[in-house]
Each structure stands twice: as structure tokens, then as C-alpha cells.
Structure 1
Amino acid sequence: MLGRLPLTDEAAAGIRPHERTHPGPIEDRLRLARATKTNLSPIFALHPGDAVGPLTDGLGDAPPWGEARDADDTLHRLWRIADPDRIAAAQTALIGADLLIADGHHRYETARAYAEELGGAGEHRFLLALLVSLDDPGLQILPTHRLLAGISGTDRQGALRDTLIEHFDLEKISMEELAPPPGEGPLQLGYLDGFHGQPFRLTLKDQASADAVLPKGLRRLDTAVLEALILRGPVGLDDEAIASLEGLGYARSDDEARELVLDGTWDCAFFLRATPIAQVRELAAAGHVMPPKSTFFTPKVPTGLLFNPLV
């Protein structure tokens, strides 16, 4: 369901972010909002229950309001709902519900900043949002793998090697096994570097090493442990470096990460497990924020299906 969310303090209290944001991307999007006076892309928010079900009953029997194919040849269809009773039922179902931001943390913070910048009441006090049930069977979280540069031939190379040996059991594996198996046991990572070209499975030796450097809620979060023990440790990245991607990159697929290391674009890659939806809900409800790119919710709605004028 695509609709508008109010940007009031009361509404904001029920909207749960789960990833850190940074000033740079917010400022970029703020300039875009000032220039276009439009929400060009919705945030992706998850809600409990089935508020959308009553809205969509029977819609598939009617012709869509609009449709388009994207660059991947995926067909997207929109149905417009004008029945006030259906709209009211969905609104009632969502009253008091906590909404978890799945994607669009910077868009959300930008919308709030833009609303405060203009002040007063008006269309700028609303934000375009895609609302999806947490129980939707089509909802998935995929992992985002980490890529590092500036390691080879520096002191970081030896420091990284020593840290991996200290904190992880290393097992030689095949290229096809780089993606760690899903599960909630000890942290496991796939690792590949361009120095040796030999893939490894890394398994955390002692959970106490993560417990010592992370708050309780984040100690079992794979991306947080990787960031604390490796990215901030031997690699020496701080908040600014992580936010500005100084020597840090991301890859959506196993194949992409592997090829970017083997062709020398990046020095090494860490392959992660997907973060379970239940863990995301738990951390967001407790007020914890995760490292950037801890989740990749799919499927996503492409930009341009709907715009939300802010004037």
C-alpha cells in the first residue's frame, strides 16, 4: 500500500528506524527536496497485522490504474483505491501501530528536516511511504557483503591477519561456499582476499570478544560484530570513514563481491548472512540502531511509480 504518513511528533514516536544515518546523504536529499518540492521516492515501512488485506480484496479483478516495466523487465502494476470506507478501514487498522523503516532512513530524516525548515502546516508535513505487512510471505532480507581497499601492502594487512587469527577459526573452503549458511549460531563469515585468492570460512572463537566491545543488544548482530572487531579494529575505520565509504564498499551478490576482489578492484571481501526479520524488529523496538547496510529488504518499489507533491 502506498500512502502518506504524517510527520508529526506523535506519529514519529511510532516510527522505528533501525540503521544509522549520516549528514552527507541527508543534505544531498534536502537539496533535492528544496529544488523539486516533491517526494520522488517512498520510504519502505513495515507494519504488524494485515491492514492492507481489506484494501486489496478483489483489486486484481479490475484493470490496473497504471503499469510499467523496469530495466530488469519486471512488470509493476498500480491500482488506485478511492473507496472512502476501505481507506478508513486501513487507517483505523494502523492507528497506534509501530512502523519499522525497512528502507529509506535518510529519506525519512530528510522529510522531517524539510518539514521543520518550512514550518507551519501543509503538504510538506506528509511523507510518501510504502506500507507492507511484517507477515507478508513475499518479504525477504538479503545480506550486503563488505569490500575493503587500502589493505594490500600496508600495516593494515598484517593487523587484519593477526586479528582474524586471534578471534576466528579459519577453514579453507571453495569459492562456492563463500556465502555462510543461515543460522543463529556463532558468527560465521566468508572471507576472500586478493593476496592469496584462497576463500576461508571464519567462525568466531569466543562470543566474549564481541560482548566486550558492543552493547548487549548488538552482540549477536553479524554486521555489528564485523564492524567492531574488524572494520574499526585493524582496518581503523571511524564513523566518518564508514559514512563516506573511505576504503569501504558494498556488494549485493556473492558473485559481484567475488569478482571485485579477484579482478583487483577491492583488496578483500567479507561475506555475511542475512539478518533475520525477527532480530531487526527486536533491535528497533529496543531503540538500537544497526550499522549501515545491515539489511536489504526485497522486493523494492522502483522510484517514479508515484510522486508526493510537498506544496
Structure 2
Amino acid sequence: MVRIKPFRGVRPQKEYVDKIASPPYDVVNTEEARELAKDNPLSFLHVVRPEIDLDPSVHIYDERVYQKAKENLEKLIKEGYLVQDGEEYLYVYRQQMGNHIQTGLVACAWADDYFEDRIKKHEFTREDKEKDRIKHVYTTNANTGPVFLTYKAQQDVDSIIEEVTKEAPEYHFTSDDGVIHTFWVIRDKKIIDELKSKFEQIPHVYIADGHHRSASGAKVREWKKKENPNHTGEEEYNYFLAVYFPHNQLQILPYNRAVKDLNGLSKENFLKKVEENFNIEKTGVKSPSKVHEISMYLDGEWYTITPKSHILNDDDPVKSLDVYILQEYLLAPILGIENPRKSERITFVGGIRGTEELEKLVNSGDYAVAFSMYPTTVEQLMNIADAGQVMPPKSTWFEPKLRSGLIVHLLD
């Protein structure tokens, strides 16, 4: 069973929602956040990227950064821009990006579901990023950004949520990136109890995006549990903020790659080595149309490369991924990218930026070759999580991203 919990959300006053709601902390760097928020003191970037309000010499993991986040959150609440609901509710969050629409249930996830693997993972977390999020949650005493979870679509759950969305929304606005955000509050206790009961029948859910947020939410519970001699397990800190989307509504874009050099090889020798494990055809195709097709941009031309049968292993959920095949049979052995997490010779480009960005990088001369990938599917993600395995780094890019600041969960 999966436990979801209603909570007293801290939310923007309606007239300020479009000014407060911001991109999540992990899709903008400090400089981008500073630019986005410079003329907007209400932007939630002042909470999730609080270093923008400190001297640039201050390191992003400095204790002063977390204290500034706490100060900025408390200021938004004190001045009445954010207000806490008087009772515990569930919420519905819909996003529309072009023709794509996804509608999720906003609720609190139970830390024990994380530790006992009813919330399934498909990525390793990085220790420095995990510590950062733990300190942010602990210092602010709040989950300021939701974890993006998915569940195998349940018609009865989706039907309940669809009925909720027929009512007038609490918020409806379009963000700067053109995504339409609509938000409802579920105040009806009967509907809340029904949704809780339905989720108790779901054996597990999956982290789509937000492994560091979920790890921090669960591990802060452990900190607070140790500090509380009267811990019962029902305290608010036992839960963290999440949005649950049905799997068939998600949109995964490709996570593309560009490499700065050919590892000392000439173009001809590079292609010759690639041909040992891949079929190569000069096609002009910029985006692959199916699994096991990769588009490669080299010297102003687009090639389609397809793995030869001897390197395919479709029985293994990880080894069947195109990002794994590219890494193990081209990036590592030919281009010398042994550890893509740490190598400074490779960059990863989210599919939202398109193949034009790959062409731009290579045409500039700063990069030698780029690879346009077919997106990993939600089913592949779930198969890997079910097998207890992890994806290679930078395997998925979910769009649209969940806005931060639409709702906050306080830990007491």
C-alpha cells in the first residue's frame, strides 16, 4: 500500500501566484536565477536559490545560504504573500505545454514508503546534492519543492481527479515559458478519504524526477525523529511534498550529448572505430524515430547510427537503453568518456532545447560531435526501478517542470 496524506498547504494569495511561482532550483543555475528574479522580490527563487541575495563570493553550500532561504520564506509568510490553509486538504495540479497535458494529485508522501521501497528509485543520488537539500529542508523546516512521482494509471483515481477539475480552479496562469498552470483545492473530506483509500490499493509508485528532494524529505525525518524523545510517527515531518501523476500522461524528452573532441582521432579513424559496433548512414535525420536509433552530428552532417545485433541485450532493462549502449560502446571505448558524471569533456543537453543547440555547439568549434537520442520511455523507467537497478546518468528529461512556490509543506 502507498500512503498519501492531506496537509495544510502554504500557498500564494491569488493575485501574487504568477509572480511567486518559479522554476525549480535544479533547472537554473545561480546566474540564471539571479537574472530571473532581479526585478521580482516575490519570486520563489529567493527561497529555492537564496544565494542570489548574497554576495557572489559566498559558496552555494555556505550556512548563510540556508539561513537566507529560511528568512526569505518566513518573510513571504509574515507579509501575507503566502498563507497557510486552515485545514488539511489535497490539491490537483494540471500543466499544459503545447498539446501535452498532465494532471497530478498534490499530497504528502510517507517517509516509510521511501525507505521501504514502495517509492521506487531509478537513479543514484550525489552526496553533495543530497546534503544540500537536507540542509535546505531542515533549516527552512519546509518542503519548498515537490517530488515528481508517477503511478501506473488507475482509472478510478483518474476519474475522481477529473471530476475535481470540472470545478473552478484556485489558480490559472501562464508562466514565462508558455506552460499553462492550473491548480485546484480538494476541500471535500469524502473525496479526500476516497483518494487516500484508492492509493492504499496501489502497491508502489515511482520517482520520475526529484531523487534528491525525496531523499532529503525522508532523511530529515530521521534527523527530527532523533531530536524528538516523544516521536510517535504521526508528526508532520514524517511526510514530504509530492505530486502524483499517472504514467500515461508523462512526457519524457531526450537527454542529448555533446563531446568536445574526438579523443585524438581523425574524423575518418573515429568513424571507422564507430563502425565496429554500429551501422552508420549519412541521412540528414536530426532526431531518431525509434528505439535503437541515434542521430550523430559530425563535421556539419547528420548521421544515423544503429547498434549491431552483437551488442544488443534487450533482456536487460538497463543494457537495452540507448544511453547505455552509446556510453558503453562509443563514448567510453572510443572517446574516452569513462565517467560521464565527472568528465568535463562532455555536456548534456535537455531535449527541450532541441537539436539546434547540438548544431550550435559543434558548429562553434567548441565541440566535435553531438548525439541526438530517442527518449527513454516511462515503461523502461518503471522496468528498471522494478528490477532494483539504476539508469545511467542523464537518461530522462521530463517536461514540463513542476513550478516551485505554488504550494509549500511545513514540517510542523
Q: Under a length normalisation based on structure 2, what TM-score does the superposition of the two structures give?
A: 0.65
Matches within 5 A, 1:143-222: 143-149=254-260, 151-152=261-262, 154=264, 160-174=270-284, 177-183=285-291, 187-193=292-298, 196-206=299-309, 208-211=310-313, 216-222=316-322
Residue 82 (str. 1) matches residue 190 (str. 2): no
Asked if residue 108 in structure 1 is aligned to residue 214 in structure 2, the reply is yes
Specify every segment of 5 or more residues in structure 1 that has no aligned partner in the other structure, as ranges: none
**Residue 293 in 1 paired to residue 394 in 2?**
yes
The range that moved more, 276-285 or 117-126, is: 117-126
Residues of 2 paired with 1:108 and 1:159: CA distance? Answer: 45
- CA distance in structure 2 between the partners assigned to 1:132 and 1:94 by the alignment: 12
SS of equivalent to 2:206: strand
Within-5 A mapping of 1:1-311: 1-8=105-112, 12-48=116-152, 49-50=154-155, 52-95=157-200, 96-120=202-226, 121=231, 122-136=235-249, 139-149=250-260, 151-152=261-262, 154=264, 160-174=270-284, 177-183=285-291, 187-193=292-298, 196-206=299-309, 208-211=310-313, 216-239=316-339, 242-244=340-342, 246-251=344-349, 252=351, 253-311=354-412
TM-score (normalised: structure 1):
0.84
SS at match of 1:217: coil
Residues 159 and 27 (structure 1 numbering): CA distance in 2 closer, same or farther, change over 3 Å? farther
Structure 2 CA distance for partners of 1:55 and 1:236, relative to 1, 3 Å: same
Higher RCO structure (Cα 8 Å, ≥6 apart): 1
Return the alpha-carbon distance in structure 2 between the equivalents of residues 57 and 259 of structure 1: 42
CA displacement 1:156-211 (0-9 Å, x = unmatched): 9787545312111111122xx1211124xxx2211113xx22221111123x3355
Q: CA deviation at 1:89?
A: 1.0
Instruction: Answer yes or no: is the 8 Å Cα contact 2:115–2:218 preserved in 1.
Output: no
Give how far 1:81 is off: 0.5
**Could you tell me how far 1:8 is from its partner in structure 2?**
1.1
Give the match's secondary structure for 2:248: coil
**For residues 270 and 312 of structure 2, what CA distance do their matches in structure 1 show?**
16
CA displacement, residues 68-122 of structure 1 (integer Å, 9 cap, x when unaligned): 3311233312110011111111111111431011111121122223222333543
